[in-house]
Structure 1
Amino acid sequence: MAETTLTIAGRQYDLRCRDGEETHLAHLAGLIERKARMAQQSTPGLTEVRTLLFAALFLADELNDMKREVAGRQEALPLGGEDDPAVLAIEALTARLEKLSDGLAAPAADA
């Protein structure tokens, strides 16, 4: 088990993590630290707890926006029409796979 120290909102946190994850945790702490600084700059005098609360809310808001964007892009994908070349190719591959599967299952049934 590895140990690392993260600094967020001016306070140090000693954590244990799996070996090799120290850099990733430092990166995540950096993201939180930037949001904590944003909170402190926009509302001076916040307590440590409220600073971390606002940092978490900022990050959650970004995550929510990204999830919406991904969902919107998935809906906009051009798949779906029966005459769509991608759909036709997938259907043809599916039929071939089913035929191969049936061919492999038939000798097993005879045995």
Structure 2
Amino acid sequence: MPQVVVTIDGKTFRMACADGEERHLESLAAEVDGRIGELRKSFGEIGDQRLVMMAAIMTADELSEQRRRIAGLEKALAEADKAREDAVRRLADSDKRLVGHVEHVTEAIEKAAERLERRV
């Protein structure tokens, strides 16, 4: 299992990750480091634990918002799928009615053709 060394708020951490996930872990650590840096600029020296807690809450808030958006998109997608299925069903019904009308017209034309042949 690979190990990655990351720096967050000036502190170095050695972390294990799955093969191929090294860059992703480094990217996540850089994002956390950036958030803590922003908070430190905004609030000054308020303590490492408080900064980490605030960064975690900000991240959790963003995650919650993304989950809410995903749920909304999934609902919209389900509604769109249902509307598509309804449209396909209506189209199939229309096709059946059209075929019925064409068959009826075909029968009428055949009967008219038979009457014309008898007259000739």
Length-normalised TM-score, structure 2? 0.62
Q: What's 1:28 paired with?
A: 28
Count of aligned pairs: 88
Structure 1: how far apart are the matches of 2:59 and 2:21?
21
The offset of 1:68, in angstroms, is 0.7
Q: What's 2:82 paired with?
A: 80
Structure 2: how far apart are the matches of 1:23 and 1:51?
24
Structure 2: how far apart are the matches of 1:59 and 1:26?
16
Structure 2: how far apart are the matches of 1:16 and 1:83?
50
Length-normalised TM-score, structure 1? 0.66
**Structure 2 residue 5 is the aligned partner of structure 1 residue 2:** no
Q: What's 1:57 paired with?
A: 57
The offset of 1:84, in angstroms, is 3.3
Residue identity matched to 2:60? A
Residue identity matched to 2:59? L
More helix by share: 2
SS for the counterpart of 2:86 is coil
| Residues 18 and 85 of structure 1, relative CA distance in 2, 3 Å threshold | same
Gaps of 5+ in 2: 92-120
Structure 1: how far apart are the matches of 2:3 and 2:30?
17
Q: Which moves more between the two structures, 20-29 or 72-81?
A: 72-81
Instruction: Give a deviation string over 1:14-40, Cα, whole Å, max 9, x none.
Output: 223334332121011012112111221
| Residues 31 and 85 of structure 1, relative CA distance in 2, 3 Å threshold | farther
User: Which structure has the higher relative contact order (CA within 8 Å, separation 6+)?
Assistant: 1
Identity rate of aligned residues, in percent?
33
Q: CA RMSD in A?
A: 2.3
Gaps of 5+ in 1: 89-111
